[in-house]
Structure 1
Amino acid sequence: MQITLIDENDYRRQMETKVLPALSACRDEGWFTPPVPKDLGPAPTSGRLHYVCYDAARFDAIKVAGADATFRGAIVISHGFTEFASKYSEMVWYFLLAGYSVCVLEHRGHGRSVRDVGDKSLVWIDDWRRYVSDLAAFAETIGQQYAGGSPLNLYAHSMGGGIGAAVLEQYPSLFDRAVLSAPMIAPATGMPNWAARILSEGLCAFGLGRHVVFGQGPFDPNLDMTEHQGASEARVRWYHHLRCEDSNRQTNAATFEWVRQALRLSSAVTQEKACANVETPILLFQADHDIWVLNQPQDRFVKTVRESGCEATLIHVPGSLHEIFSMPNAILGPYLSRILDFFDDRVTAAL
C-alpha cells in the first residue's frame, strides 16, 4: 500500500495546517483505570492512564485526499521510553489514511498518565509486569472497541516494543499482527547487561531505586542536532517543539529501579518457553545504528519465536537510527510500506 509522505521541506506547516486539524476531527481522549494484577497487587500510586484514540469512520467523513475508504481494523500503539501520545501524530495520520482506527496508551509514568515519582523528568516503575498488564487490558477493552470485530494490530517501539513482546507471550490471541520497531528486547546500558543487572539490583537494594541513573538528567529545551545525525531534522525539531510546549512531555531520565525492571523484562521475554507461547505473526524492524537497544537479542528473539512455529520476520534497516519513524522519507517510505503491507495481509485474507 502506497501512502504519500509529508514533505520534509514543508513539515511543520503541513503538520499544523493539514494533519493536526484532521486528527482533531476524529480524536477521542480518555482515561483508563487498569485492573489490579492478582500477582502484583495495587500500584504504589493509584490513578488512571491517559489515552488518545482516532476513529477511522470520522476521519473518512472529512474526505481527506488519498484516504482509503476501506475500514481495516484498529492499531494499538505502544510508545517508547520518555515518549507520549502526540509524538506519534504522523504515524497515526498514515494509519488513518490506510483505513485503520488508532489507539495510543500513554504508559504509566509518561505523558498525562499517573506517575509514581514527583519529578516529572524521571521514569520509575515498581514491576515491569504492570506495564504488560496495563497494555493488555487497554487492548482488550478500548482497542477491541475501536476494532469493532475487525483485526486488532500492535505497533510498538523501543520500551513499548519490549512491553509488546511480553504481551504477545502472555496474551497470545489478543493481537492479529504485531510490528515491533527497534524493540527493547534488551536495553543498551553502556556495560554488559549481566554487570548492569548486578549493579542495578545492588543499588535498588540500598534504597536508591528512585534516583536518576548516571549521566542522565532533566529535559534540556536547547536542541542539539548533533545527537540526531542522519535523522530527519524536520521531524526531530517537531518532536522537540512538542516537548517544549508541555511539561507532561518532558520525561527524560531513567531511575535505577526502571533499569532493574527493564533488565528483568529482557530476561523474561527472551526465555525459550515464553517465546514458544507467541501465536501472533511478528514483523520486527531493527535499526542499523541503534544506541538505545541491543540488536543481537532481537535476532535471537525472532529466531526462537520462528523455531517455535510462529511467523516472525526481521528486517534490518540500513542507515537508520533507533527511531526509524524519525528518519528521512527515503528510509521512512519503505518502512511504512512494509508495515502497511504486513497489516493488510490479514485484512485481504479475510475479505
Structure 2
Amino acid sequence: MHYKTNTFSSKDGETICYYRWTANKNVPFKGVVQISHGIGEYAGRYDSIAHKLQNVGYEVYANDHRAHGKTAEIKRLFGYYEGSDYFVDVVEDMHELAELMKVNHPGAKFVLFGHSMGSLLSRKYVTQYGDELDALILSGTASFIKGLGNIGLLSTKAVVAFRGRTRGNSVLKSFFFDEFNKKFKPNRTKLDWLSTDEAQVDLFEADPYRVENFSLGVFQDVIKNSKYLNQEDAFKATPKDLPVLIFSGDKDPVGEMGKGVKRVVNQYEKTGINDLTFHLYEGGRHEMLNETNSEEVETDILNWLKERIHD
C-alpha cells in the first residue's frame, strides 16, 4: 500500500478515518485529488489509481464514509448509521477533509473524484461547494432508476415507519444488490455485476471491510438523494465552467447498461457545462477501475487531467 491513514473530527464530533497518498517529490506538484468511494466499500480500494496520481505529482486524499471501512471499525459498527440524512452528513465530512487539504496545500488545484454512491455524493457536493473545485470526475454514476428507485423509496419508507432508520433489513439489502446481479445470470458470485475480472471480484468478495447490510436510513437516503440529484435544479446548480469527466461501462447495471449514465451526460450538456467528456467502455461493468482494461481507464483519467490541471 502507498498511503498512510489518520483521522479527523467532523462537525458533529464523529471520528472519520482518511487516507493520504503523498505526492512524488521528484516531479512538479500538480494539485490535490479527493476520492469519494461507493456504498459497501472503502477508500483503500483506490490504491492503484491513487498511486498513479501520486507518481505524476498529485497528493491524494480519501476518507472512509460513515458506516464504512476504518471509520466504521473505530466503533465496530459496520453499516450502522443513526443520523437524520446520510448525504448531508457525509458531504459535510468530505468538505471537512477538503478544508484540511487546503491547510496542507494552500492555493492548490482541487479535483473531486467520486464512484457510484460516491459519484452521487460528489454531485451533491458540487451543488454546494462547486466553486471550490477545479475538476470533477464521476465513475459509475447513475440516473434515477424509476422502477427500482420508486419501489425502493416506498419500501424503505414503509419499513422505516415500523422499524426506524437504524436497523438493517436483509430483504431490502438483497432487493437492491441482487437486482443488479440478475443481469449476469447464471451467477458465479453475488458480485458478478461489479467486474468481468474474476480475480478482482473474488478479492472483494473475501474482503473483511466489505459491508452489505446497512441501517435502513442509508438505503433510504441514497435513493432519496438519487432522485433529487437527477432533477433539473441539481444539474443547474453545478458551475458551468467546471470541467467534468464521466465514465462508465456499457454493461453497468447501475448505469442501466449505458442508458442511465447517458441521461446524466445529456442533462449536464443541457444545462451548459462548458467542458464535458464522456467515456463508455464496451463490455465494462460497474467498477471500471477494477475491470480487465483498468490500465486503459487509468491512462484516460491521467491524460484528461493533464490537459486541464497544469503545473
TM-score, length of structure 1 as denominator length: 0.74
Distance 1:207 1:118 in 2: 22
* CA distances 1:181-207 after superposition (whole Å, capped 9, x unpaired): 002444x69x53222212211211222
1:73 positional shift:
0.7
1:314 positional shift:
2.4
Distance 1:340 1:235 in 2: 22
Distance 1:292 1:208 in 2: 27
Correspondence for 1:288: 250
Correspondence for 1:263: 223
In structure 2, which of residues 108, 116, 119 is the aligned counterpart of residue 161 of structure 1?
119
1:138 corresponds to which letter in structure 2?
L
Query: Is 1:211 matched up with 2:211?
Result: no
Correspondence for 1:90: 48
Correspondence for 1:308: 271
In structure 2, which of residues 219, 232, 253 is the aligned counterpart of residue 272 of structure 1?
232
**Secondary structure, aligned partner of 1:320:** coil
TM-aligned CA distance change 1:98 to 1:125, over 3 Å? farther
Matches within 5 A, 1:1-351: 20=1, 23=2, 27-36=3-12, 46-56=13-23, 59-60=24-25, 69-114=27-72, 119-120=77-78, 126-127=84-85, 128-139=87-98, 141-186=99-144, 191-209=147-165, 210-214=167-171, 216=173, 227-228=191-192, 231-240=196-205, 243-244=207-208, 249-279=209-239, 280-294=242-256, 295-310=258-273, 311-328=275-292, 331-348=293-310, 351=311
* CA distances 1:269-291 after superposition (whole Å, capped 9, x unpaired): 11212211212221111222223
TM-aligned CA distance change 1:211 to 1:117, over 3 Å? farther
1:95 positional shift:
1.1
1:334 corresponds to which letter in structure 2?
E
Distance 2:156 2:123 in 1: 23
1:304 positional shift:
2.1
**Secondary structure, aligned partner of 2:284:** strand
How large is the Cα RMSD of the aligned pairs? 2.8
* Cα pair 1:80 1:157 within 8 Å, conserved: yes
* CA distances 1:97-155 after superposition (whole Å, capped 9, x unpaired): 2221110111111112158997525567631221222212222x123245442211111
Distance 2:6 2:143 in 1: 29
The sequence identity of aligned pairs, in percent, is 20
Q: Mind listing any 5+ residue stretches in structure 1 that lack a counterpart?
A: 1-19, 37-45, 62-68, 218-223
* Cα pair 2:36 2:43 within 8 Å, conserved: no
TM-aligned CA distance change 1:306 to 1:105, over 3 Å? same
Q: Mind listing any 5+ residue stretches in structure 2 that lack a counterpart?
A: 175-187
Distance 1:213 1:32 in 2: 32
1:323 positional shift:
0.7
What count of residue pairs does the alignment treat as equivalent? Answer: 292
* Cα pair 2:204 2:210 within 8 Å, conserved: no
**Secondary structure, aligned partner of 2:211:** coil
TM-aligned CA distance change 1:107 to 1:50, over 3 Å? same
1:50 positional shift:
0.5
TM-aligned CA distance change 1:211 to 1:227, over 3 Å? closer
2:231 corresponds to which letter in structure 1?
Q
TM-aligned CA distance change 1:211 to 1:318, over 3 Å? same
Distance 1:94 1:299 in 2: 28
Distance 1:301 1:276 in 2: 12
Distance 1:150 1:271 in 2: 32
TM-score, length of structure 2 as denominator length: 0.83
1:178 positional shift:
1.1
2:161 corresponds to which letter in structure 1?
A
